[in-house]
Amino acid sequence: MDGASPTAHTLLSDIFGFDAFRPMQQEIVDAVSAGEDVLAILPTGGGKSLCYQLPALLRPGLTVVISPLIALMRDQVRALREVGVEAGALTSANTEEETDAVYSGLSEGRLKILYMAPERLASGGTERLLAQSGVTLLAVDEAHCVSQWGHDFRPDYLRIGALRRALDVPLAAFTATADSETRDEIVTRLFGGQAPKTFLGGFDRPNIRLAFAAKLKPREQILSFASARKEQSGIVYCGTRAKTETLAKALSDTGLSACAYHAGMEPDARRDVERRFQSEDGLIVVATVAFGMGIDKPDIRWVAHADLPKSIEAYYQEIGRAGRDGAPAETLTLYGADDIRFRRMQIDESLAPAERRMADHGRLNALLGLAEALKCRRQTLLEYFEEAREPCGNCDLCAQPPDTFDATEAVMKALSAMLRTGESFGVGHLTDILVGTCTEKVKARGHDRLPTFGVGQDTDRRHWSAIFRQMMGHDLVRPDAERHGALRMTHAALPILKGDASITFRRDTLASAPRRNAPRALVSEEDAPLLSALKAKRRELAEAQRAPAYVIFPDRTLIEMAETRPDTLDEMAKINGVGAKKLERYGSTFLAVITGDTPVQEHPARRKLAGRASGDVYDRLLAAQARLARGEDGTGKPMSCSAALLAKIAALGPNATDQIDRLLGDRLADRFGPTFAQILSEA
Ligand code: ADP
Ligand code: ZN
């Protein structure tokens, strides 16, 4: 649509403070603004809200947004008001004053965007109210909630079709769920079967780092992953309710802020966790999959799976809760042979019809294929969604390609041990046979006389367990639900058994020491102190307003501030996420933090030195660093040292020039080395 896009662009930067559309946003905004019926499928974090908020501002009259997420609606309303848009919400969480304010906004025709919970549609008064309020657009968030077969089904969503007909306005529906059955159901139930203009966005979430690890010491693996990410909000998904509680306790015991969440908890306790997670900076929630739809926090920095999810779709959805704001986020998924057994049995023992169970095995296989992948995880994941990709550079396998070996012979030996024992035994007994351990059970069944007995002696037990796990992962063998997990061969294994095919396994997952899982820093070391100062300021403002931190500014905006260090309000206005209203409200406050006109809160590294002589040295180093931040002549690239580094240098004592330079590294030594040496020699 001509004419709309320049205006859309102006609003994008003036109101929302963004300088470019995300993929597909512009096309969707244009179509919705033009009054077309639209169905848009964008991944989580793709920026769906903007796709109805911008058109709402471009079109005359009122836009009604139906959303099932009350916490999200309230945050969005708050965020819209922050940028100067007249918005309100009608939900069960409203106070009387809030509801009154919405009604007067409606009757005065001031309100541009009205959020509404689906339950409202059940009352006859709602349709009348809306009919009198000049509604010109209906937007439906989480449109998959209309699907009766999905687990997010909301019966009240079925009333939306009738409301659309009654108001006779265009409808724009949004979801991140992309399977075609759900899409068809949305078209039938929301659009009365008339196909809307459909936009299907890509599935990639490039800011999310993907990583898997075989379980070795799972609790330690999770603890070390979480500890390395202290003060970042994260979710740990567990397979059982009991485990959420023990793991949450273990995390708390190591000094992290963590709590459990599962469907067996009292509703009040659950709501309390949801509320804390939404507003606190850096809480870890250890949860079952029950922790899902209700959360819509854009700045979740990591998601870990203490147990393997049930399918590749579930995996994608769960990790997708991280990094919705587009800033870097990390994931780690643990898996082991027990998980595979558990998930298989769960499917086999479900009451679903046979075809459904087959499909479920297929979805589990796709996830196991991803877990045991030999090339880029993202490529493998997106291939499943039929999107082609180059290796991503942001997954564990891109970072360190796996060490592989030809496992054909080992697999043949294992299969042979299984077949010669009537496919009646599990991994433990089969391994005894392969490595030639003469247990009671082996002797009693005469398995020590099998030709396979001891053929796997060249490989130790741990390696065999990894081989069995990968055989399960490649679906060459499956635990038999009817026979207590005895392994059965599948058709997929036949070509290998017959010598017609070979197979490659990974070796590195067999290693005993888990690889260090260092967190990815959000900014370079030199910008880190400023970023924490900006975050502290944000927290202070958010607490004063009793709002979640990201309502003030999202992480990405603070990161950009720390990296580009605007030193005037004009420069500040160029930062992504700083629109006119926010510039006016917060611009100078944050500018003061950047230019150092407000004292930055003392870093813990400095606090440790309090009262000691080196504390004084530290302060002088800090002052010198601030003076030299842009070089002697003030025109260089901004540089600074971390507080920890300054503390180390402060402790060095005189005559330490060499050590200073070594600690600083070349770049920093060029800028700061001589001055720092001078300060130390005077101390
Ligand atoms: P979704 O509903 O698709 O999961 P949101 O609408 O909540 O995603 O948007 C996710 C985040 O991305 C929000 O913090 C939003 O402000 C931000 N965002 C949306 N569009 C843009 C854009 N064009 N540029 C920068 N950030 C954006
Ligand atoms: Zn990759």
Q: CATH number for the domain including 408? A: 1.10.10.10
**Digit-coded pLDDT (tens) for 640-651:** 887 788 888 888
Q: Say if 35 falls within a structural domain.
A: yes
Average pLDDT estimate for 452-464: 90
Handedness of CA 324, 328, 329, 334 (dihedral sign): positive
Which of these ranges, 4-8, 279-283, 451-455, 523-527, has the smallest mean pLDDT?
4-8
Tokens of 671: 């800028």
Q: Say if 2 falls within a structural domain.
A: no
Calculate what percentage of the chain has a pLDDT beyond 90. 54
Alpha carbon nearest to ligand 1 atom 25, residue: 18
pLDDT at 599: 55
Closest CA to 315 of 281, 339, 296: 339
pLDDT at 601: 53
**Could you tell me which residue, 654 or 114, shows the higher pLDDT?**
114
User: 583 and 664: one domain?
Assistant: no
- Does the CB atom of residue 300 touch ligand 1 within 6 A? no
* pLDDT bucket at 509, cuts 50 / 70 / 90: low
Whether pTM exceeds 0.75? no
* pLDDT bucket at 513, cuts 50 / 70 / 90: very low
pLDDT at 682: 82
Distance from C-alpha of 89 to C-alpha of 110, rounded to nearest angstrom: 14
Which of these ranges, 64-73, 258-267, 514-523, 665-674, has the smallest mean pLDDT?
514-523
User: 215 and 180: one domain?
Assistant: no
456, 473, 506 — which closes off a domain?
Answer: 506
Average pLDDT estimate for 399-404: 90
**Could you tell me which residue, 519 or 106, shows the higher pLDDT?**
106
Which of these ranges, 67-71, 369-373, 487-491, 513-517, has the smallest mean pLDDT?
513-517
* pLDDT bucket at 518, cuts 50 / 70 / 90: low
- Torsion angles phi and psi, residue 259, rounded to 5: -145, 160
If residue 213 lies in a helix (H) or strand (E), which one and from where to where?
strand 212-214
- Does the CB atom of residue 221 touch ligand 1 within 6 A? no
* pLDDT bucket at 602, cuts 50 / 70 / 90: low
Q: Say if 346 falls within a structural domain.
A: yes
Number of domains making up the chain = 5
577, 601, 625 — which closes off a domain?
Answer: 601
- Does the CB atom of residue 579 touch ligand 1 within 6 A? no
Question: From the CA of 367, how far away is ligand 2's center (Å)?
Answer: 16
Ligand 1 atom at shortest distance from the alpha carbon of 51: 6
Question: From the CA of 12, how far away is ligand 1's center (Å)?
Answer: 12
**Could you tell me which residue, 655 or 560, shows the higher pLDDT?**
560
* pLDDT bucket at 363, cuts 50 / 70 / 90: confident
Tokens of 219: 């609790």
Question: From the CA of 318, how far away is ligand 2's center (Å)?
Answer: 19
Average pLDDT estimate for 221-225: 95
Give, for ligand 1, the residue of 15, 22, 28, 50 to mutate: max count of ligand atoms closer than 8 Å to Cβ: 50
Average pLDDT estimate for 134-144: 95
**Digit-coded pLDDT (tens) for 52-98:** 999 999 999 999 999 988 878 888 999 999 999 999 999 888 899 99
Question: From the CA of 381, how far away is ligand 2's center (Å)?
Answer: 10
Alpha carbon nearest to ligand 1 atom 15, residue: 47
Q: Say if 215 falls within a structural domain.
A: yes
**Could you tell me which residue, 49 or 532, shows the higher pLDDT?**
49
Give, for ligand 1, the residue of 13, 18, 78 to mutate: max count of ligand atoms closer than 8 Å to Cβ: 18
Q: CATH number for the domain including 571? A: 1.10.150.80
* pLDDT bucket at 407, cuts 50 / 70 / 90: very high
pLDDT at 33: 96
Going from the C-alpha of 37 to that of each of 24, 115, 164, the distances in angstroms are: 16, 19, 11
Q: Say if 95 falls within a structural domain.
A: yes
- Does the CB atom of residue 343 touch ligand 1 within 6 A? no
Ligand 1 atom at shortest distance from the alpha carbon of 42: 3
pLDDT at 512: 42
- Does the CB atom of residue 324 touch ligand 1 within 6 A? yes
What distance lies between CA 521 and its chain's CA centroid? 16
**Could you tell me which residue, 248 or 667, shows the higher pLDDT?**
248
Ligand 1 atom at shortest distance from the alpha carbon of 76: 7
- Does the CB atom of residue 44 touch ligand 1 within 6 A? yes
Q: What is the mean pLDDT of the chain?
A: 88
Tokens of 523: 């900014």
Give, for ligand 1, the residue of 325, 551, 553, 574 to mutate: max count of ligand atoms closer than 8 Å to Cβ: 325
Alpha carbon nearest to ligand 1 atom 11, residue: 325
pLDDT at 631: 81
User: 241 and 386: one domain?
Assistant: yes
pLDDT at 227: 93
438, 471, 506 — which closes off a domain?
Answer: 506
- Is the pLDDT at 477 greater than 70, yes or no? yes
State the residue range of the domain holding 115.
8-200
- Is the pLDDT at 140 greater than 50, yes or no? yes
Ligand 1 atom at shortest distance from the alpha carbon of 20: 23
- Is the pLDDT at 395 greater than 90, yes or no? yes
pLDDT at 278: 85
Average pLDDT estimate for 199-223: 92
Ligand 1 atom at shortest distance from the alpha carbon of 48: 3
Q: Say if 515 falls within a structural domain.
A: no
- Is the pLDDT at 637 greater than 80, yes or no? no
Q: Say if 523 falls within a structural domain.
A: no
Ligand 1 atom at shortest distance from the alpha carbon of 25: 23
Question: From the CA of 575, how far away is ligand 1's center (Å)?
Answer: 15
User: 175 and 252: one domain?
Assistant: no
Which of these ranges, 481-485, 622-626, 633-637, 671-675, has the smallest mean pLDDT?
481-485
3-class SS of residue 198: strand
What's the per-residue H, E or C state across 6-66? Answer: HHHHHHHHHCCCCCCCCCCHHHHHHHHHCCCCEEEECCCCCCHHHHHHHHHHHCCCEEEEE
pLDDT at 5: 45
Alpha carbon nearest to ligand 1 atom 26, residue: 18
Distance from C-alpha of 140 to C-alpha of 129, rounded to nearest angstrom: 18
- Does the CB atom of residue 42 touch ligand 1 within 6 A? yes
User: 538 and 413: one domain?
Assistant: no
* pLDDT bucket at 293, cuts 50 / 70 / 90: low
Greatest mean pLDDT range, 405-409, 659-663, 678-682: 405-409
Alpha carbon nearest to ligand 1 atom 2, residue: 48
Average pLDDT estimate for 624-630: 82
Q: Say if 649 falls within a structural domain.
A: yes
